[in-house]
């Protein structure tokens, strides 16, 4: 897309960041307000936990369908559909009279977000193939902000206007995120951009070769899975684990979780531009492994000594999430290949990652302590080792698959 007009490029880059800003706001919007919501809609214990399992499952389901959907309506059309559906779902959650209504609205919202997760790398590859690193850093940071904002702004909105307005208000960001695409979609259709590109690249997308045959695709999926397994596990159990292992107070444990969340911002900014540089993939994966091993080792061997230092190391371990987003575009030849790879990585990555918090909690429940769970996460972190060696070869997914045609 080197011939893309500058005005179109700027509009598309703005649209990508705004779109990314809106697709994750619903993930953490309910939990901080659970006690208030419970006064009107029963929401405690198991019911709240079930809501927490929806995002990774919905993302995996969406990932399986997103490439087909995006090819039917175009990437631009998919953005508009996701934004509209997300806006409706946010409002739906805000006006939900029962738990069932809130539950279904959350499923719809997370399915829409899952489609957004998949199409973003394709949008970057389509409109800014020469700016994959910086643009991935920008939209990754926007996603990190949208995940964290409800924990602060959502509480403030609830204090001022009530929990229903707090949940519904995030619809505004979803709608704002589609405005640039309302201009880009007709322009793309009028110029025949979608049809021309699809026709030119159709053999690559429809060839009956499984992405499981691509070592690079499997490696990107592996580092994505490890980052997801670590992040979802710590989001679920970090506060109680720290209170038991390190003896910190509940407020200090909550602060540690805040530290873990905040570290996603610098990782989103720094990692993608480095990930697309030749020779940097393996060192970044290696650094992620070291961070995870040091953090887990600290909690296992010296949990009462500088626990916040161990949390800092653990918070840097999932840097491979931002890295995998960049590699989806960088290790493919066109935006449709990036879209298919993104669907593959998201689908299987979230399927595997969704089970990690359950197994971590089960290990604690069965053994009565955290040692088995921490050792399990240590084993998960080592899955990145073969991926590190494969990514060091700097191969392109399409070229690897071409060997099987």
pLDDT tens for 314-372 read: 999 999 999 998 999 899 988 888 888 988 999 899 888 888 887 888 888 788 888 99
CB 127 within 8 A of CB 138: no
Query: For 57-75, what is each residue's pLDDT tens digit?
Result: 888 899 888 888 888 888 8
DSSP output for 71-111? HHHHHHHHHHHHHHHHHHHHHHHHH--SHHHHHHHHHHHHH
Q: What values do phi and psi take at 214, rounded to 5?
A: -100, 115
- Of 16 and 45, the one with more pLDDT: 16
- Using the predicted structure, report yes or no on whether residue 49 has a pLDDT greater than 70: no
Question: For residue 29, what is the DSSP state?
Answer: S
pLDDT at position 3: 59
Buried b (16+ CB within 10 A) or exposed e, 216-234: bbbbbbbbbbbbbbbbbbb
Q: Is 190 exposed, middle or buried (CB count within 10 Å of its CB: 0-12, 13-18, 19+)?
A: exposed
Query: Could you give the 3-state DSSP secondary structure of residue 3?
Result: coil
Query: For 139-175, what is each residue's pLDDT tens digit?
Result: 988 988 887 787 778 888 888 998 899 999 999 999 9
The superfamily (CATH) of domain 6-205 is MFS general substrate transporter like domains (1.20.1250.20)
Q: CA 368 to CA 149: how far, in whole Å?
A: 34
Mean pLDDT value across residues 376-388: 94
396: its two tokens: 């392109």
Mean pLDDT value across residues 114-126: 90
Alpha-carbon radius of gyration of the chain: 21
Shortest CA distance to 332 belongs to which of 142, 124, 184? 124
pLDDT at position 215: 94
Give Cβ neighbours of residue 63 (< 8 Å, ≥ 6 apart).
Answer: 114, 117, 118, 342, 343, 344, 345, 346, 347, 350
pLDDT at position 45: 54
Q: Is 79 exposed, middle or buried (CB count within 10 Å of its CB: 0-12, 13-18, 19+)?
A: buried
pLDDT at position 201: 45
pLDDT at position 198: 47
Place of tokens 């084993």: 379
- Using the predicted structure, report yes or no on whether residue 199 has a pLDDT greater than 80: no
Shortest CA distance to 93 belongs to which of 160, 171, 159? 171
Q: CA 337 to CA 398: how far, in whole Å?
A: 7
Q: What's the whole-number average pLDDT of the chain?
A: 85
Question: For residue 405, what is the DSSP state?
Answer: -
3-state secondary structure 216-228: HHHHHHHHHHHHH
pLDDT at position 180: 93
| Residues 211-402, CATH architecture | Up-down Bundle (1.20)
- Using the predicted structure, report yes or no on whether residue 378 has a pLDDT greater than 60: yes
pLDDT at position 233: 83
Query: Could you give the 3-state DSSP secondary structure of residue 382?
Result: coil
Buried b (16+ CB within 10 A) or exposed e, 144-172: bbbbbbbbebbeebbeeeebbebbbbbbe
What are the boundaries of each domain within the chain? 6-205, 211-402
- 4 falls in which pLDDT band (50, 70, 90)? low
DSSP output for 188-247? HHHHTHHHHHHHHHHHHHHSS--GGG-HHHHHHHHHHHHHHHHHHHHHHHHHHHHHHHT-
pLDDT at position 202: 40
- Of 9 and 53, the one with more pLDDT: 9
One fold for 6-205 and 211-402: yes
């Amino acid at each position: 897309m080197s011939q893309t007009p500058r005005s179109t490029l700027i509009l598309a880059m703005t649209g990508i960041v705004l779109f990314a800003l809106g697709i994750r706001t619903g993930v953490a919007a309910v939990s901080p307000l659970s006690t208030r919501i419970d006064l009107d809609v029963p929401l405690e214990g198991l019911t709240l936990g079930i809501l927490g399992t929806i995002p990774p499952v919905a993302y995996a389901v969406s990932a399986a369908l997103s490439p087909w959907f995006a090819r039917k309506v175009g990437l631009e059309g998919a953005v508009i559909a996701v934004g509209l559906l997300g806006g409706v779902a946010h409002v739906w959650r805000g006006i939900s009279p029962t738990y069932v209504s809130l539950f279904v609205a959350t499923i719809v919202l997370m399915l829409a977000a899952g489609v957004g997760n998949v199409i973003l790398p394709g949008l970057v590859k389509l409109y800014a193939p020469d700016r994959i690193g910086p643009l991935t850093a920008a939209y990754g940071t926007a996603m990190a902000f949208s995940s964290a904002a409800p924990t602060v702004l959502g509480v403030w909105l609830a204090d001022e206007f009530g929990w229903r307005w707090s949940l519904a208000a995030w619809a505004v960001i979803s709608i704002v995120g589609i405005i640039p695409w309302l201009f880009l979609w007709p322009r793309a259709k009028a110029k025949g951009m979608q049809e021309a590109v699809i026709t030119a690249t159709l053999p690559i997308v429809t060839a009956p070769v499984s992405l499981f045959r691509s070592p690079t695709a499997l490696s990107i999926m592996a580092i994505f899975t490890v980052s997801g397994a670590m992040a979802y596990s710590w989001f679920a159990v970090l506060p109680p684990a720290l209170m038991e292992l390190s003896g910190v107070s509940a407020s200090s444990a909550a602060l540690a979780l805040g530290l873990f969340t905040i570290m996603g911002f610098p990782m989103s900014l720094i990692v993608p531009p480095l990930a697309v540089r030749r020779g940097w993939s393996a060192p970044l994966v290696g650094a992620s492994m070291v961070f995870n091993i040091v953090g887990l080792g600290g909690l296992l061997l010296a949990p009462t000594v500088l626990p916040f230092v161990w949390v800092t190391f653990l918070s840097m371990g999932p840097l491979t999430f931002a890295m995998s987003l960049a590699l989806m575009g960088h290790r493919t030849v066109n935006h449709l290949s990036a879209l298919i790879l993104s669907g593959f990585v998201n689908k299987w990555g979230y399927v595997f990652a969704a089970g990690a918090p359950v197994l971590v909690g089960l290990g604690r429940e069965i053994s009565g302590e955290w040692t088995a769970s921490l050792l399990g996460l240590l084993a998960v972190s080592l899955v990145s080792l073969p991926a590190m060696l494969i990514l060091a070869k700097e191969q392109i997914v399409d070229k690897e698959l071409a060997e099987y045609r």
